[in-house]
């Protein structure tokens, strides 16, 4: 899992196939990918103090895993930028 840093937060894109695999069958990657993103705040001792997970609903399914990953990171950055004043969790980072 790749991690991105943004304004004191750790961003973890969560990418998964749009159509779940059925009873041992292989995943159907041709159906595209869905995405969510986990935003974490670390404490001074490098322990996780808080996290929130958000599902991307717009533009799903994504055509490729890379498109879904990039959209997840952008979505998290927008959440952080747009909500720092209103949510205590988001206002706690540097």
Residue-wise pLDDT for 51-73, tens only, equals 899 999 877 799 999 999 999 99
SS (H, E, C) the chain: CCCEEECCEEEEEEEEECCCCCCCCCCCHHHCEEEEEEEEEECCCCCEEEEEEEEECCCCCECCHHHHHHHHHHHHHHHHHHHCCCCHHHHCCC
33-42 average pLDDT score: 92
pLDDT given at position 42: 73
Tens of pLDDT, residue by residue over 1-34, are: 689 999 889 999 999 999 888 888 787 888 899 9
What residues form DSSP beta bridges with 48? 42
| Domains along the chain with CATH numbers | 4-91 (3.30.160)
């Amino acid at each position: 899992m790749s991690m991105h840093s943004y304004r004191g937060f750790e961003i973890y894109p969560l990418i998964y196939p749009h159509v779940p695999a059925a009873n041992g069958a292989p995943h159907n990657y041709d159906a595209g990918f869905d995405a969510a993103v986990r935003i974490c705040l670390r404490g001074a001792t490098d322990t996780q103090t808080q996290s929130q997970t958000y599902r991307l609903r717009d533009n799903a399914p994504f055509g490729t895993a890379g498109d879904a990953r990039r959209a997840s990171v952008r979505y998290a950055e927008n959440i952080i930028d747009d909500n720092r004043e209103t949510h205590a969790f988001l206002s706690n980072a540097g």
